[in-house]
Structure 1
Amino acid sequence: MSAARPLTTLRTLAVVAALPLLLTACGYGSKSTDDGKKTAVAASAKKLSTDEVKIGYFPNLTHATALVGVQEGLFQKELGGTTVKTATFNAGPSEIEALNAGSIDIGWIGPSPAINGYAKSDGKNLRIIGGSASGGVKLVVNPKKIKSLKDVKGKKIATPQLGNTQDVAFLNWIAGQGWTVDAQSGKGDVSVVRTDNKITPDAYKSGSIDGAWVPEPTASKLVAEGAKVLLDESTLWPAKRFVITNIVVRQDFLKKHPDVVEAVLRGSVKTNEWINANPEKAKASANTALEKLSGKALPADVIDPAWKSITFLDDPLASTLHTEAEHAVTAGLLDKPNLKGIYDLTLLNKVLKAEGKDKVDDAGLGTK
C-alpha cells in the first residue's frame, strides 16, 4: 500500500486520474449546472435575513431529500419570502469549489468531499449541519465470472473515482480480505478500475469490468443488465447505517444568516418525514425531478430496487464519517485529518426538538 499523501496531492491525483471522467463521492461526472431556477414566492410571504439562498445538490437518488424538497416546495414553504435558487452538480470537488466561491450557500454532498474540503481549508470553509441519506451502495458483479466473495480476487472491479467514498470503502474491504492493492494505481490482487458511473453500465456490457462497487442508481442499472448484487455495503456497518449524503453550509453564511439555515434544515426534516411517510409518492416526485434535470426518468426496474436500498434520515451518522476518514488514511489516500469542528448540529437539534424528534450526536467532532 502506498504511503499517505497530503490532501493537496490527493485532490490533484483524483482530478488527474478521473479527467474528463471526474466524479463525486456519490459518483457522477464533472459538470456543474447553475439551474438559475428560483421557486415562486407568494407576494405576502415574509422574507428572512437575506433575499435568496443558493442550494446545491446532485441529480442523484442519494440526494432525494433535496430533489423532493425542491420539487414539492417544502423548502420554499419554510423560507417564506426568501427565494430558493438551485444549482446541480455532478462532482463533489466542483460543489466544494462553488461553496468556497459563494456560488452556493448550502449543499447536499458525500462524506469524502466534505472531509477533504474541510481539511484542505484548515477547517475554515464549511460545517456539516445535518444528515440526509444512508446506504444505497452495493458490490454488483457478473454472475458468470464471480459466484462468491472470494472470486473477486483477480477480477476487474469499477469504483467511481480515485479516493471517493466508494473507492475508499472497496479498498478497505479488499484489505479486510487479506489482499493487497496499490491505492493509487488500483493494481494488485484485485484490479480497481476508476470509471465514471455514467460509463460503468456500458463498461459492464462490453466485458471490460467484471463488476462494480457503486452507489444507486448505478448498481440497479447494472442489475438490469444482468449483474448480481454480491454485497450490500450496509451489511458491513453497525445497525446497517453509514453516511452517504450530508448537508453542508458555508461558515460565513451560517454566521450571517442562521435563520435561513434553520429554515432549510426545517424543510429538510419535514421532507424526510414526508418521504418516509409516503415512499411511493416520494419516489415518483424524485423521478420527476430527475427527468426535469436530465431529460430522462429512471425506469421502474432501476428506480424501484434503488429506492428501497436508501434510508432518508436527519442524523448525519457522525461516527461513520470518522470511520470513513480512517479508512482513507489506512488506504494511503489521506493524511490523518483533524475533523474537530466539522459538525455544527445546533440548529438541526433545535429543529428536531421543535418537531418532537430525538437529538442527534456529533461524535465529539462538533464546534465548541
Structure 2
Amino acid sequence: MNPSSPFLARRRFLSLAAAVVAGGTSLLLLVNALPGAHAASDGTLAGPVRIGFQKAGTVLLSLKAKGTLEKQLQPKGATLQWAEFPAGLPMVEALNAGAIDIAYVGEAPPVIAQAANGSITRYVAYDPWGPDSEGIVVQKDSGIRKLADLRGKRIAVQKGSNSHYLLVKALASAKLKPADAEIVFLKPADARAAFERKDLDAWSIWDPFLAAAEALPNARLLTSAKGLAPNRGYYLASAPFIKNRPDALKAVLASIKKEALAVEANPAATAAFLAPSLGLDVKVLKLAEERRRHDALPLTDKIIERQQDVADTFSELRLIPRSIKVRDAVWIWK
C-alpha cells in the first residue's frame, strides 16, 4: 500500500485528531460542529431509543460495548435498547414495523424498505466504507479466474444486502444476468459453513465476514467491489422518530461521528476491543478495519445519485415491487 495515499494521509490525520482528543480541550471544537451538539433544549431526548445493529457496524458495536450512549443520554432521561440482527434486510423490516428507531445497514436494505407500502424508513447519514471491504471469494482450487467464469456456478449471498448488489453488478460487468448463475440466498454464517464444505463455488460477502473468508485455506478473492459498487453504509431512522425525537436523533448521530473518528484512527485497538464479542480473530478484524472508512455524513447529491442506481437496478430485476426516488426518503440535516 502506498504510504502517501490519500487514505493513509487521512488515517494519519485521524490519529493526530484522536491524540488531540485524548488531550481534552480541542475535542470541543470538533463536537460543537456536529449536528445535535447543543441539542436537548426541547426535551425530546427523554424516552427509549431503540437501535438496531449488526456485526458489520463497527462504530455502533464500539458504542454499545463501551456504554457511551448510555453514559451520555441516560442522565437526560433516555433509555437505550439494542437489538442485534444477522443482516440489514430484517433490520429495515423491523424499522418499517416500528420495532426499532435507528438502524445501520448497507446500500440495498433501505431501497427495499422504501419500496414497501407505507414505508417510514428515512436516510439520516451515510458511512463511506469503501469498495475494498466487500468482495467475491471462490474456491481456491477452482478454475474460476474471471467474473465471466461465474456462469452456471453456485453462488451464495445474503438477499437484499450490499453484496447482493455487488453480485448483480459483477455479473453484469461480465455480460451475465443473475439467471446465468445459481444464486443461493444464505445468511453469512450458513454461507461460510457451505463454502467450507465446498457446497458453493463462490460467495459474495462484506467485511468482517469477507476478511474471515479470505483467511480460510480453501478461499481465494476473485474481486473486491472496486469499480463495481461503492459499498457504503447508511444510518436510518423512522419518520416518527425523526419528527417526535429530533434531539435524541441528533445526539446519537453526534456520538456516532465522534466514535467513528476514534475507530478509524486506531484499527488495531478497535479489532482487539471487538474480537471477544464478535468471536473473530483479531488479525481478521484488523484487516477489515484497515480497509474501511468510518463517518456519519449528510447525503450529498452524488451519494443520492449512486444510491438511486441501486434502486433502479433492483427495480429492473424486480427485486422491489415498484420504482422509487431515493431522494424522497432523505432527511435533511438542519
- 1:325 maps to a residue whose letter is A
Higher helix share: 2
Deviation track 1:138-167 (CA, whole Å, cap 9, x = no partner) reads 111113113521433332222122x43322
Compute the displacement of 1:210 (Å): 1.4
Instruction: Give the counterpart of 2:273 among 269, 273, 285.
Output: 285
Match of 2:57 in 1: 63
Aligned-partner Cα distance in 2 for 1:248–1:110: 10
* Alpha carbons 2:162, 2:231 under 8 Å: kept: no
Match of 1:326 in 2: 312
Instruction: Give the counterpart of 2:285 among 303, 306, 317.
Output: 303
Instruction: Give the counterpart of 1:171 among 168, 182, 186.
Output: 168
Aligned-partner Cα distance in 2 for 1:176–1:91: 26
Aligned-partner Cα distance in 2 for 1:99–1:180: 31
SS of 2:83's partner is strand
Deviation track 1:91-134 (CA, whole Å, cap 9, x = no partner) reads 43432343234332111123322122222135x51211012352
Aligned-partner Cα distance in 2 for 1:256–1:145: 54
Aligned-partner Cα distance in 2 for 1:155–1:129: 38
Aligned-partner Cα distance in 2 for 1:101–1:191: 32
Match of 2:296 in 1: 314
* Alpha carbons 1:130, 1:345 under 8 Å: kept: no
Match of 2:68 in 1: 74
- 2:215 maps to a residue whose letter is A
SS of 1:200's partner is helix
- CA root-mean-square deviation: 2.5
Q: Alignment length, in residue pairs?
A: 283
Match of 1:114 in 2: 110
SS of 1:84's partner is strand
Instruction: Give the counterpart of 2:226 among 211, 229, 234.
Output: 234
Match of 1:130 in 2: 125
Gaps of 5+ in 2: 1-39
SS of 1:236's partner is coil
Match of 1:366 in 2: none
- 5 Å-filtered alignment, 1:1-368, equals 49-58=45-54, 60=55, 62-79=56-73, 80-81=75-76, 82-122=78-118, 124-135=119-130, 136-149=133-146, 150-161=148-159, 163-182=160-179, 188=180, 190-226=181-217, 227-237=219-229, 241-243=230-232, 245-290=233-278, 297-315=279-297, 316=299, 317-334=303-320, 335-347=322-334
Deviation track 1:12-53 (CA, whole Å, cap 9, x = no partner) reads xxxxxxxxxxxxxxxxxxxxxxxxxxxxxxxxx997542331
Compute the displacement of 1:262 (Å): 0.6
Percent identity of the aligned residues? 22
Compute the displacement of 1:273 (Å): 1.0
Aligned-partner Cα distance in 1 for 2:174–2:296: 33
TM-score computed with the length of structure 1 as normaliser: 0.70
Aligned-partner Cα distance in 1 for 2:248–2:100: 13
Match of 2:15 in 1: none
* Alpha carbons 2:103, 2:236 under 8 Å: kept: yes
Aligned-partner Cα distance in 1 for 2:97–2:192: 34
TM-score computed with the length of structure 2 as normaliser: 0.76
Runs of 4+ in 1 over 6 A off after TM superposition: none
Compute the displacement of 1:77 (Å): 4.5
- 2:113 maps to a residue whose letter is G
* Alpha carbons 1:156, 1:209 under 8 Å: kept: yes
